[in-house]
A and B are shown apart, each in its own frame.
Chain A
Amino acid sequence: MSTDGAQTPIADQTGEATTRTLHIWRGDLTDGGLVEFEVETAPGMVVLDAVLEVQRSQAPDLAVRWNCKAAKCGSCSAEVNGRPSLMCKTRLDHLPEGEPITVEPLHAFPVIRDLVTDVSWNYEVNKKIAPFTPKPDADWLIGQEDADRMSEFRKCIECFMCQDVCHILRNHRMHDRYFGPRFLIRLASLEMHPLDDLDRIDQISGEAGIALCNITKCCTEVCPEGIHITDNAIIPLKERVVDRRFDPLFRLLHRRPR
């Protein structure tokens, strides 16, 4: 076995000190704007490193939310160069060189301060989803194939970036009529659970507002976990709604035994 050549070359592996310019949004609900900072970069540095460096050395009151710094908790979501990104997973050397990097808070939620937004709406939505309710006669045997389908949705780290980018919430601000992609995949993971006893279609087509989704797939584009939100959750759920509400033929063939 050879151990060399393992590391693919990375732009500034030589360790030369270079600096990058950050434009960080600072402010609160009343007012705010981009503020410019310079930071010295280190090899492999991510946006969160740069922001924390600004916090440590230049703006000690810069508000930023983070916890794991390992792309696992979904705390550090922000908009980097206009795209929802996990700051702890976005490397500086993957962003266009020679240009400032803009870092903004998520747009779909009220800002608390600087890069921190109030995402509590999401927790309210989650409460409306009835918990997993096993069938009374469940044998607790589940196939890997079934586990695979559900676990794609259960990979979600609740970074809420899909909620942020979804135009229904972001631009049309219909938080009162749409659960957002995050909670449609949550509903999907329950609806497709082989042992779940509840019928969730009415909620999906009702208060969750699945019909508002026009499957433009931005949620899928930003998901850091690579969940196929639209193809594997929303579209299949839309089809299940069609079974129930728009397909007389299907209803005839699959009349539920009563």
Chain B
Amino acid sequence: MSAERHEYDVIVLGTGGSGLRAAIAAAEAGARTAVVCKCLLGKAHTVMAEGGVAASLGNVDPADGWETHFQDTMFGGKYLNNWRMAELHAREAPDRVQELERWGAVFDRTPERKMSQRAFGGHTYRRLVHIGDRTGLELIRTLQDKAVHSGIDVFMETIVTRLVKDGDRVTGMFGYHYATGAQVAFACRSLVLATGGGGRIWRVTSNSQDCTADGHALAYEAGADMVDMEFVQFHPTGMVWPPGVAGLLVTEAVRGEGGILRNSEGERFMERYDPKRMELSTRDVVARSIYTEVKEGRGSPHGGVFLDVSHLDPAYVKMRLPSMYDQFYELAGVDITKGPMEIGPTCHYFMGGIRVDAETGQTIVPGLFATGECSGGMNGANRLGGNSLSDLLVFGRRAGTSAAQAASDAPAPRLPEAELALAAAELGGFLTGDGLTGPAEDPYRLHRELQTVMGDGVGIFRDEAGLETAIGRLHELEARAANLRAPSARLDYNPGWRLCREVRNMITVSLQIARAALMRAESRGAHSRLDHPRYDDYWSEHNILICGDGGEMTLEARPVVTSDELTELVEARQEAERV
């Protein structure tokens, strides 16, 4: 095998917030570290994050503290969260955010010149540290600059298609340079997956092109197990028109700043669904409410509802929501200071993901760590806005540090030639058609069909029949995916080639989602079963784990990871919600 080779102590796959934070931590711990990503540095999905990063600094509402943040997160996640993760997250988020400022991040300020914090759905206090509506960009740029000066090597536009194992242990990964098609193998003592989510499985999504659930699939194939895959967050407010931008996110900050939701009859319909929190109810509730309004014929002309900030001072709107103003003005021809936006739910975030140890981000596979959106457990059945960026920082750092520590005890990584040959054959097969057993399948077409299947059967509302049909069709797609072939045989910058492996990943992960959704016979958080509209006592204490050892996908219900020290806090909140 003549592929280009690299060796590091720690390799991080992904340059979103979690990947960069992990790499910085690993480098600080003394590990020789590299990051690898499909995109260019600084352009990962995280740049799109708008609203803010949740941390109970208490700058605006001094009553806030980690306990309340923990309780809010648990309540938002409908108590399926890994308690310990939710605790660590709430405890450490303030430090992580302050550290960003030490590294040069600039956030909006209070009159006392401290970091300002804004209200967001499901957060008891004003908690989201932000800068305008481009907080993700600030986070990425800050981490990017920190990483660049931490002696981390960066491999951009390098697509990883397989993890390489030596026996039980992950020792590296295999991929290719997008620009040339040249194959490359990476060997490492610890590998951190930070590959983000998989929103591209749905047609209407706020996610960027990179979000094809690669990390989920790669880890699963390498023997890691998944948790909470049935929980996919549909953000209530995405653009619905024009068609080219359908799904593009309208930040929750619009509601945080006082935006009002109305149906085509002009009614403020949230009064009927959640009179207490209204527009700032949790995302699952708002998304379902909007969906219901549209379904019952009270939608806007393009199949959404109206979100209005035109009652606010135009100058204020332009100052606080500048990129929303631009987005609607440029793309939809709507001046949001004058008229309402048309919005509808859009696929946004994977609560579920690779199961990891709360403290270290270690998966059940030796040598393999995961962090960020591709890992699961922290958010339970539903994520609160702003809790992802803080999650990236808290667990990115933990994963990076632990990966570096583990690397110092790990054996020198070996990349078995047989594994590399297998990976190379798979990748090459997409180009040459070697090993196809039937007519070649076009990746663009298969992707669209997948999106249709998932949109039809595994959307916001689900039921048994729909899920079963979807699973049947997914198995068909899975079989056809064995014959994926890129429409062009070029090596350099060939988008169809790249999509082949991505489509395969997405099908694998779609099956996990659909099967877990079928198994969870209740409605909870982001998972709504029309045939099981209520909470179920058994399921309220169990997560669904998925593992694929031996090629067979098996699902298992396992009790939620609780913690005695936190019982009091959790029970206090449950009590409060009951009254």
Contacts and interface: CB of A to CB of B under 8 A. Distances in A.
Interface of A: 1-3, 5-10, 28, 42-46, 49, 55-56, 60-75, 89, 91, 112-114, 116, 118-120, 123, 126-127, 130-132, 134, 140-144, 147, 150-151, 154-158, 189-190, 193, 196
18 contacts: A1-B262, A1-B266, A3-B266, A3-B300, A5-B339, A7-B333, A28-B492, A46-B245, A56-B444, A60-B488, A61-B495, A67-B39, A67-B208, A68-B209, A70-B208, A75-B40, A131-B145, A147-B107
A73 B496 contact: no
B263 to A, nearest CB: 9
Which of A60, A155, A156 has the most B CB atoms < 10 Å from its CB?
Answer: A60
B339 A60 contact: no
Nearest to B497: A61
B245 A44 contact: yes
Contacts of B264: 3
Interface stretch (B131-139, B213-221, B382-390): B131-139
Contacts of A113: 179, 492-493
Contacts of B98: 140
Contacts of A69: 208-209, 245, 248
A46 B492 CA distance: 25
Given A68-B47, A141-B113, A8 B494 contact: no
Contact of A155 (B137, B262, B340, B495): B137
B327 A155 contact: no
Interface string B237-273: 0000111110011000000000000101010000000
B131 A151 contact: yes
Interface residues of B, number: 78
Contacts of B134: 72, 155
A69 to B, nearest CB: 7
Contacts of A62: 495
Nearest to A94: B330
Given A3-B262, A3-B264, A55 B495 contact: yes
Contacts of A56: 444
A133 to B, nearest CB: 9
A61 B494 contact: yes
Contacts of A72: 47-48, 134, 137, 323
A120 B179 CA distance: 12
Contact of B132 (A67, A131, A151): A151
Contact of A43 (B106, B112, B243, B306): B243
Contact of A3 (B114, B249, B340, B496): B340
Contacts of B560: none
B39 A132 contact: no
Which of A6, A75, A150 has the most B CB atoms < 10 Å from its CB?
Answer: A6
Contacts of A75: 39-40, 43
A32 B20 CA distance: 37
Given A3-B340, A132-B104, A132-B145, A114 B493 contact: yes
B496 A61 contact: yes
A73 B42 CA distance: 8
A131 B40 contact: no
Contacts of A126: 145, 148
B108 A144 contact: yes
Given A6-B340, A75-B39, A131-B146, 5 more contacts: A1-B266, A6-B334, A46-B244, A61-B495, A143-B109
B496 A7 contact: no
B313 to A, nearest CB: 16
Given A61-B494, A113-B492, A116-B493, A73 B47 contact: yes
Contact of A68 (B48, B145, B262, B301): B48
B288 interface: no
Contacts of A141: 112-114
Which of A70, A114, A120, A193 has the most B CB atoms < 10 Å from its CB?
Answer: A70
Given A42-B243, A123-B41, A147-B131, A73 B266 contact: no
B242 A45 contact: yes
Nearest to B211: A67
B515 interface: no
A225 B390 CA distance: 26
Which of B43, B145, B323 has the most A CB atoms < 10 Å from its CB?
Answer: B43
Contact of B244 (A44, A140, A143): A44
Interface in B169-223: 179, 206, 208-210
B78 interface: no
B42 A158 contact: yes
A112 to B, nearest CB: 5
A244 B323 CA distance: 37
A120 B338 CA distance: 42
